């Protein structure tokens, strides 16, 4: 049976409430060990090992479903937290990345050839070597390969919002999905349960797109018996840097076209540059530009989200 990250349980066709109860009860079994985040934070683990291996996973899986890459990184974190620090040798990291992607592809029923994963890394591994690493990963994960991830909880939490317009529901889900993908790279979010990450991502998306209804959504989510309110607040706050990055990417895309505002901005920047005669340091200029961008982003998003939020009241 092909594995679906949104429906990870084999008995997910059972009653709605019972299925999600099972997810909430089992989610901690699909997380890295509790000390993993602290080990990365305190440099007991070389964080560059994780970063480099994730980079290789992204390269290997770039032509596949993004969820395959997400699943592979889930396997990676759980394996590293179980096995401890690996030697940061390039061939070890590449073998680990190939094996995680291979296992994820098998779980998702994705057709692939190991030749596809050999790429330009400079190392060629035979099938037996990769299979031995796969067995090592399987043992470390206790053969729990149907990972429960934040995607498993999106439908549950979004149902609490009681949105009537399917297009608004899809917009919030799409933005929350983008946030969840980005959140996987942030080590400070590794300590939170998948359900809390899902709830925080949906609230962040709702705050962007439907700010007038956001208080209702937050109340409904916080009142959920499965949710720890303190952890939800901490995760939501930790996620805001990711949200700002999303604002910037959207803003850069929109502002790339020539408009009267852009022309004035460019003229203002040019005039200011001439006045300073290059006396401002690059660091202060960068900081100033970032502050200006944030103010412009906030103005742009306020205008956009107010328009969207008028479509439907809570």
**What pTM value is reported for the model?**
0.77
Q: For domain 31-141, give the fold.
A: Cyclin A; domain 1 (1.10.472)
Is 290 in a helix, a strand, or coil? helix
What is the reported pLDDT for 258? 42
What is the model's pLDDT at position 288? 55
Closest Cα partner for 69 from 150, 155, 173, 181? 181
How large is the average pLDDT for residues 4-28? Answer: 78
Average pLDDT, the chain: 80
Average pLDDT over residues 2-13: 74
- What's the burial of 195, exposed, middle or buried (CB within 10 Å: 0-12/13-18/19+)? buried
User: Read out DSSP for 115-178?
Assistant: GGGTTTSS----HHHHHHHHHHHHHHTTT--S---GGGGHHHHHHHTT---HHHHHHHHHHHHH
What CATH fold (topology level) applies to the domain 150-249? Answer: Cyclin A; domain 1 (1.10.472)
- The reported pLDDT for the residue numbered 18 is 78
Domain with CATH 1.10.472.10 in the chain: 31-141, 150-249
Q: Which pLDDT score is estimated for 303? A: 52
Query: Which is more confident, 23 or 242?
Result: 23
Please state which of the ranges 63-67, 118-122, 206-210, 217-221 shows the lowest mean pLDDT: 118-122
Q: What is the pLDDT of residues 241-272, one digit of tens each?
A: 777 765 554 445 444 444 434 433 444 344 44
CA distances from 155 to 198, 208, 220, 311 (A): 10, 19, 14, 22
């Amino acid at each position: 049976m092909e594995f679906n990250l949104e429906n990870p349980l084999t008995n997910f066709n059972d009653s709605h409430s019972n299925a999600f109860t099972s997810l909430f009860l089992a989610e901690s079994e699909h997380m890295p060990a509790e000390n993993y985040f602290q080990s990365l934070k305190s440099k007991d683990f070389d964080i560059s090992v994780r970063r480099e291996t994730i980079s290789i996973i992204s390269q290997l899986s770039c032509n596949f479903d993004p969820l395959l890459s997400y699943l592979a990184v889930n396997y990676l974190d759980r394996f590293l937290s179980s096995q401890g620090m690996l030697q940061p040798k390039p061939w070890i990291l590449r073998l680990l990345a190939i094996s995680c992607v291979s296992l994820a592809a098998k779980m998702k029923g994705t057709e692939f050839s190991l030749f596809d994963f050999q790429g330009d890394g400079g190392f060629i591994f035979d099938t037996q070597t990769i299979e031995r690493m796969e067995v090592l990963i399987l043992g470390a994960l206790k053969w729990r390969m149907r990972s429960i991830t934040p995607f498993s909880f999106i439908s549950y939490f979004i149902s609490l919002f009681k949105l009537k317009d399917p297009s608004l529901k899809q917009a919030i889900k799409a933005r929350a999905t983008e946030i969840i993908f980005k959140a996987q790279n942030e080590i400070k979010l590794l300590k939170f349960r998948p359900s809390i990450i899902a709830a925080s991502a949906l609230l962040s998306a709702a705050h962007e797109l439907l700010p007038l209804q956001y208080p209702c959504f937050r109340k409904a989510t916080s009142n959920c018996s499965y949710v720890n309110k303190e952890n939800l607040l901490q995760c939501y706050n930790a996620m805001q840097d990711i949200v700002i990055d999303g604002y910037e990417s959207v803003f850069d895309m929109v502002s790339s076209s020539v408009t009267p505002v852009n022309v004035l901005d460019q003229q203002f920047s040019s005039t200011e540059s001439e006045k300073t005669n290059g006396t401002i340091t690059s660091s202060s200029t960068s900081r100033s530009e970032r502050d200006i961008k944030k103010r412009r982003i906030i103005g742009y998003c306020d205008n956009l989200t107010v328009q969207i939020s008028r479509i439907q009241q809570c």
